Structure 1
């Protein structure tokens, strides 16, 4: 089926108008349906942490260790303060699902069982387990908050390249 020149112009015009109207909708990809990134920027990063002797110590007033340092630096990059919540993985994931946390860290690995309850970053660092296995560390974020996840992953990747993890 051959289209006449007039039909081709009409089809091209229709496609151009469709593209413009979609662009005008203000849709951004990746997006945060619950607005996590926008809420954290210039505000407060609500970080849930669980103790892990290799990367997260929660025995003092403020968490310490390589992951706590990374979370503080990420918050600084967003001009945000950090509000810490210490708990078990299960309690923190429940709080994440209920909208009370923005991320979870504490020695979580890419083998985490929470993939159906939270967004998982790409592995950003490796540690050696006591049995000699190499473990790949990840952090958890609210499901579907892809702009926030993307910003966190980019930050962690840049930090790893700089040797800061």
Structure 2
């Protein structure tokens, strides 16, 4: 014959399981995390964006970034509640600044095959373009290495605003 355990034993076991779950979640930080706090810094008011001139993506007119990616960065800054501090330069210089924690985001027609993927975080491709030889390129943005909460926020924004064919 089936014998049911006393009600008290089930309560104690349930409380123990619930307590274990609470302790496990309290001991581990939220994932993803930013070791350097990039997302918090940006949300506090300043997005340090680096752009490298690249036709169809970023142009510099009168010392100001213009073009599709400059507008994308402006929209992201608005989404994050931040003002933009622009840095204009070549990709190598900008990636070094990204690594050093001096920039939060880099754009300039960077493709998913970028050689900088070992030195920077790379977003998922958010659009495609065609190169001079007629080959399709997948375009990405760069973020500081290891700043995964910020990377997630940028990708969330891109998913909400861009159409990847």
TM-score, normalised to structure 2, is 0.87
Displacement after TM superposition at 1:62 (Å):
1.3
Q: Report which of the two structures shows the higher radius of gyration computed on alpha carbons.
A: 2
Distance 2:64 2:20 in 1: 52
- Map of 1:133 onto structure 2: 135
CA distance in 2 between counterparts of 1:107 and 1:54 reads 8
Aligned equivalent of 2:162, options 154, 160, 163: 160
Secondary structure of the equivalent of 1:58?
strand
Residue segments in structure 1 that go unaligned for 5+ positions in a row: none
Shift of 1:23: 2.5
Alignment deviations for residues 55-77 of structure 1 (CA, whole Å, 9 cap, x no partner): 11024321011000000000000
Following the alignment from structure 1 to structure 2, what is the Cα–Cα distance between the partners of residues 26 and 74? 29
Residue 26 (structure 2) pairs with residue 24 (structure 1):
yes
Tell me the equivalent position of 1:66. Answer: 68
Q: Distance in 1 between matches of 2:27 and 2:82?
A: 29
Instruction: Report the alpha carbon displacement of residue 9 of structure 1 after superposing the two structures with TM.
Output: 7.8
> Aligned-residue CA RMSD in angstroms?
2.1
Count of residues in Structure 1 that have an aligned counterpart in Structure 2 = 158
Cα offset for 1:157?
A: 1.6
Alignment of 1:84 with 2:91, yes or no, is no
- 1:134-164 Cα offsets, whole Å, 9 max, x none, are 1110000011111110110111121114x9x
Runs ≥4 in structure 1, deviation > 6 angstroms? 5-11
Q: Tell me the residue number matched to 1:57.
A: 59
- TM-fit CA distance, 1:12: 5.8
